[in-house]
């Protein structure tokens, strides 16, 4: 776990926690602080603060420009319906599905064990079919499991 991206991720998350869900930062400043390429900040934002992980990013260029990160707090039921009806299309990657499951775990919609069961089923190794088919099966699986969760909700 020596990845710089992970370290930057944790740093940003701690800042978000301190500022209660919303944060504004400057890309170049952060890049200088971590002695990395500015574009690495974009990479961290794209991979660790994606919508699937429950964040929203806005940015503003020009002098005085900045990046705003907002931790989203949506209604559980709406979010699950959004996932099954819109987000999960005909195909989905492992990374995306993994992010989504982590996200609903963090929102308290499912527990650790349910998340572990779902993630196990969604792994590439589990779905051992040609690549083009794999994403399609995974989308079906994730959707089916989410529907099961929705219908067992109390």
Return the number of the residue (8 or 109) whose C-beta is nearest DNA. 8
| Per-residue binding letters, 50-89, with DNA (x by CB under 7 A) | -------x-xxxxxxxxx----------------------
Taking each helix axis from N to C end, the angle separating 94-106 and 131-151, rounded to the nearest 10 degrees, works out to: 20
136 lies in the binding site for a copy of itself (CB under 8 A): yes
Three-state DSSP state, 58: strand
113 lies in the binding site for a copy of itself (CB under 8 A): yes
Return the number of the residue (62 or 108) whose C-beta is nearest DNA. 62
Give alpha helix (H) positions in the chain.
4-18, 27-33, 38-48, 76-82, 94-106, 112-122, 131-151
Query: Which residues lie near DNA (CB under 7 A)?
Result: 1, 3-6, 25-29, 36-43, 47, 57, 59-67, 94-95, 124-125, 131
């Amino acid at each position: 776990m020596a990845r710089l991206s992970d370290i930057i991720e944790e740093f940003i998350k701690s800042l978000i926690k301190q500022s209660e869900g919303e944060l504004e930062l400057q890309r170049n400043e952060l890049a200088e602080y971590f002695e990395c390429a500015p574009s690495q900040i974009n990479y961290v934002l794209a991979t660790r603060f994606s919508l699937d992980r429950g964040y929203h990013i806005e940015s503003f260029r020009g002098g005085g420009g900045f990046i705003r990160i907002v931790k989203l707090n949506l209604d559980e039921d709406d979010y699950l319906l959004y996932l099954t009806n819109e987000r999960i299309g005909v195909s989905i990657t492992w990374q995306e599905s993994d992010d989504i499951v982590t996200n609903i775990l963090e929102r308290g919609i499912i527990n650790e064990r349910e998340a572990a069961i779902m993630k196990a089923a969604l792994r590439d190794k589990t779905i051992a079919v040609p690549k083009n088919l794999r994403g399609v099966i995974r989308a079906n699986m994730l959707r089916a499991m989410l529907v099961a969760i929705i219908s067992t909700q109390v």
